[in-house]
């Protein structure tokens, strides 16, 4: 049973999400942006600065029913996009329901939202522009590589532990439950849920990558020489350099408690940021962890420029709702103990 609880978004964050969803540039504006040269900084590098939206309904892995198909047709993409819009409309007007205690706060067995009203979610309604059937571009089948035997054992052991000890303490909860890391903020960044924006700040010597979810920020030196150090961090230690017009950020030194997709602390991440035109940023990342996957894998996520600033995401380290998670589990333990004594 999943007990994940996240504190509510601020009203401002919800409003900006709605505005961003509605602020779609005209076809003429989009065409003009694509013809314009890539903006450059005063020191000659591509200007990556701005707020970038990475919402998409394209899944990370290629669905099984699309096996062997790298791209959707225009008609297929349009059908999926219409279905996403229809679903939002259906959930908006349906009758109110009382959510049961327990279960997953984001999704019920029928695929509809759990404790959260669909109003709070912002998963987008568009496939990526290439109409690729998955964000994963390597392996060619669009699927995650197989787990290694040791990774399988780790995953099974973790699942068994959480089944028996779902909330003995806050340490049993995930980094996103504890508002230490956002579930879509990475690194690497992956679409999911809501607050799907990233802002980039740039100087000749550093780049700052700020994700809206839990307002994580990575300060990335661009000298390529800075020491990694020995302190392991939740988001790892990042170092960057330019390869032509592509910013490459290499990250390692992850905290072993992070457990991103069951990866180990020895995971290596290489991210590539390339501005395509005035309104488009191409984000590609490659994950290498021989202790977890049988081969490296790569995903590519197009991002679109937004006009509005980021607003606060009110999830604070420690997560005020952890009190409810832990106290709820204590109540369950007390009730179970009382039944045993009868």
pLDDT of 20 strictly over 50 = no
Percent of the chain with pLDDT over 70: 83
In this prediction, residue 14 has a pLDDT band, given cuts at 50, 70 and 90, of: very low
Rounded mean pLDDT, 79-98 = 87
- How far is residue 288's CA from residue 61's CA, in Å, rounded to a whole number? 17
pTM of the model: 0.84
pLDDT at 316: 78
Alpha helices in the chain (DSSP H): 11-22, 27-35, 74-93, 149-164, 322-341
pLDDT at 18: 38
pLDDT at 283: 98
Strand, helix or coil for residue 229: coil
In 96-116, which positions are buried (b, 16+ CB within 10 angstroms) versus exposed (e)?
A: eeeeeeeeebbeeeeeebbbb
256 near 264, Cβ under 8 Å? Answer: yes
279 near 305, Cβ under 8 Å? Answer: yes
pLDDT of 130 strictly over 90 = yes
pLDDT at 267: 96
pLDDT at 109: 67
pLDDT digits (tens, 9 = 90+) for 192-203: 988 999 999 999
Of 314, 303, 313, the residue nearest 51 (C-alpha)? 303
pLDDT of 11 strictly over 60 = no
pLDDT of 22 strictly over 60 = no
- How far is residue 231's CA from residue 35's CA, in Å, rounded to a whole number? 45
pLDDT of 59 strictly over 80 = yes
* Out of 82-91, 113-122, 147-156, 193-202, least confident range: 113-122
Rounded mean pLDDT, 152-175 = 92
72 near 148, Cβ under 8 Å? Answer: no
- How far is residue 13's CA from residue 24's CA, in Å, rounded to a whole number? 18
The whole-angstrom distance between residue 316's C-alpha and the CA centroid of its chain comes to 18
pLDDT digits (tens, 9 = 90+) for 203-227: 999 999 999 988 889 999 998 666 6
Strand, helix or coil for residue 82: helix
- In Å, what is the CA distance from 148 to each residue of 76, 144, 288? 35, 12, 13
* Out of 29-43, 61-75, 175-189, 231-245, least confident range: 29-43
Q: Can you say whether the dihedral through the CA atoms of 250, 190, 263, 215 is positive or negative? A: positive
Find all residues with CB under 8 Å of 224, minimum gap 6, and list them.
239, 240, 241
pLDDT digits (tens, 9 = 90+) for 280-328: 999 999 999 999 999 999 999 999 999 889 888 888 777 888 888 899 8
Helix %, strand %, coil % of the chain (to 5):
25, 20, 50
Percent of the chain with pLDDT over 90: 56
pLDDT of 24 strictly over 50 = no
């Amino acid at each position: 049973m999943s007990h994940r609880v996240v504190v509510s978004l601020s009203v401002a964050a919800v409003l900006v999400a709605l505005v961003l969803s509605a602020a779609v540039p005209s076809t003429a504006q989009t065409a003009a942006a694509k013809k314009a040269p890539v903006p450059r900084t005063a020191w000659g590098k591509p200007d990556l600065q701005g707020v970038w939206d990475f919402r998409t309904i394209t899944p990370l892995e290629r669905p099984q029913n699309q096996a062997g198909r790298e791209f959707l047709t225009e008609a297929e993409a349009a059908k999926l996009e219409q279905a996403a819009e229809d679903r939002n409309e259906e959930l908006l007007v349906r009758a109110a329901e009382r959510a049961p205690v327990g279960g997953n706060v984001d999704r019920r067995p029928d695929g509809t939202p759990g404790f959260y009203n669909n109003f709070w979610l912002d998963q987008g309604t568009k496939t990526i522009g290439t109409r690729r059937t998955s964000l994963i571009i390597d392996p060619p089948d669009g699927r995650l590589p197989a787990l290694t035997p040791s990774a399988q054992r780790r995953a099974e052991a973790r699942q068994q532990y959480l089944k028996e000890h779902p909330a003995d303490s806050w340490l049993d909860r995930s980094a996103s439950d504890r508002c230490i890391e956002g579930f879509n903020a990475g690194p690497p960044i992956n679409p999911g849920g809501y607050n799907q924006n990233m802002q980039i700040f740039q100087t000749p010597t550093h780049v700052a990558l700020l994700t809206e979810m839990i307002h994580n920020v990575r300060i990335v030196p661009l000298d390529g020489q800075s020491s990694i150090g020995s302190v392991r961090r939740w988001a790892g230690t990042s170092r960057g350099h330019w390869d032509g017009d592509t910013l490459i950020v290499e990250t390692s030194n992850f905290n072993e408690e992070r457990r991103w997709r069951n990866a180990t602390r020895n995971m290596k991440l290489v991210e590539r940021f390339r501005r395509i035109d005035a309104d488009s940023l191409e984000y590609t990342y490659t994950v290498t962890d021989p202790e977890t996957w049988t081969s490296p894998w790569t995903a590519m996520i197009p991002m679109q420029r937004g006009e509005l600033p980021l607003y606060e995401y009110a999830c604070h380290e420690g997560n005020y709702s952890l009190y409810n998670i832990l106290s709820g589990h204590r109540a369950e333990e007390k009730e179970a103990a009382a039944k045993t004594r009868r």
